[in-house]
Amino acid sequence: MRNTWVINFLSLFTLFFLSCTVLAQTNKSTHTELGLVVGPWLPSNYTKLTEIVSLTGVRIAPAFGAFRHEITLLGGKGKGLEVNMLTWAIRNKVGVVDDLDLFWLFGIHYMRYKPKYAYTDIVLPEESANGWFFGFGNFVGGKKLKARTEFTLAMRPGRHLYVGVGFIFAFGGDDKGAEDTAKP
């Protein structure tokens, strides 16, 4: 784990590099998005984590640059675990099919969790982890209120899959630019 700072630096550098408008697809929207998300979190290869946990969270995505930057705060409790996670991601649309409102995500995450021994009330010390993730999803709905589904796979220190469903509400900005576009 001595090279963790290198991985974290490269992840941050990559996020900032991908945020350059020269390399980006077009995001003409000037609105801010606020939403709720729920879904199962499936950890693998984490120390003392074996339970699937249902996470609930809130997300904000301000209009900034060529990509949509998303900040998400997730939390949940299971029978033997308490998880809190903060993520920062860049999102952009995939303009392959006009009828589908598809997007991809790339970001970093920081999480804290409290595991318990199975079948006991003994709580272990709180642990933290950070790493990077990527994902994809789609939107369904109008310009101001949309349903959202997403699948994200995270790496470092273990791996986890998060399947989220929820909605976003767009506010502020002008209506003619309320759509993120993938056309250069």
pLDDT, one tens digit for every residue, the chain (184 residues): 455 666 666 666 665 655 554 444 555 667 889 999 999 998 888 777 777 889 999 999 987 766 788 999 999 988 778 889 999 998 888 766 666 788 889 999 998 888 766 666 666 778 888 888 999 999 888 888 999 999 999 887 778 899 999 999 988 776 554 455 444 3
Position 168 scores a pLDDT of 92
The Cα 30–Cα 133 span in angstroms is 26
What pLDDT does 127 receive? Answer: 81
DSSP state of 15: H
- Res 4: pLDDT: 64
pLDDT of residue 177: 45
Per DSSP, the residues of 30-57 read --EEEEEEEEEEEEES-TT----EEEEE
Q: What is the pLDDT of residue 68?
A: 83
> Residues 6 or more apart from 78 whose CB is under 8 A from it?
51, 52, 53, 54
Residue 23 is predicted with a pLDDT of 43
**φ, ψ for residue 127, nearest 5 deg:** -125, 160
Written as one letter, the residue type at 162 is Y
Helix and strand numbers, DSSP H then E, in the chain: 1, 8
Full set of structural domains in the chain with CATH: 4-177 (2.40.160.20)
